[in-house]
Structure 1
Amino acid sequence: MSVNVLASPVLGAVAVAGHDGAVQQAVAVGPCGALSTYSTFSHSCLRLVEDGFGFFAAANVAPEQRIN
């Protein structure tokens, strides 16, 4: 959650600073998007394992490993 809290003000600061659309998109899709998306993905997988759904956690991770 703290990662998402960090990514949001960074993105907001870039938007308020008046950078052009390309800079805003690069920051949103690049570091802020990756940071918040990965933290959500890892939290989701961890919760599945903790709740006893290890198979579903593995099924969630398997496609990611195949792509990389």
Structure 2
Amino acid sequence: MTAGYDEKPAIDQAEIARAVRERVIRARSVLSEASDAHDTVGLSPALDELEEALHAAREYGVTIPPAGSA
């Protein structure tokens, strides 16, 4: 018998997929706003966040629709 530390909590895959999709959508929006505003200071972190969000999607196997499709 273990002390319980080997037990992994049940993870809701649908909840993970929803959160990852929302992160990508937010990141795309922030990047678009920075680009539209010609915000050179905000552009780099916005792009970094989008790249990290897309990486998370690949890591979890979440399909992300192309930008602009709802």
Larger proportion of helix: 1
Pick the structure with greater CA Rg.
2
Indicate the TM-score class for this superposition, using the shorter chain for normalisation.
0.3 to 0.5
Asked which structure has the greater RCO (Cα within 8 Å, sep 6+), the reply is: 2
TM-score (norm 2): 0.46
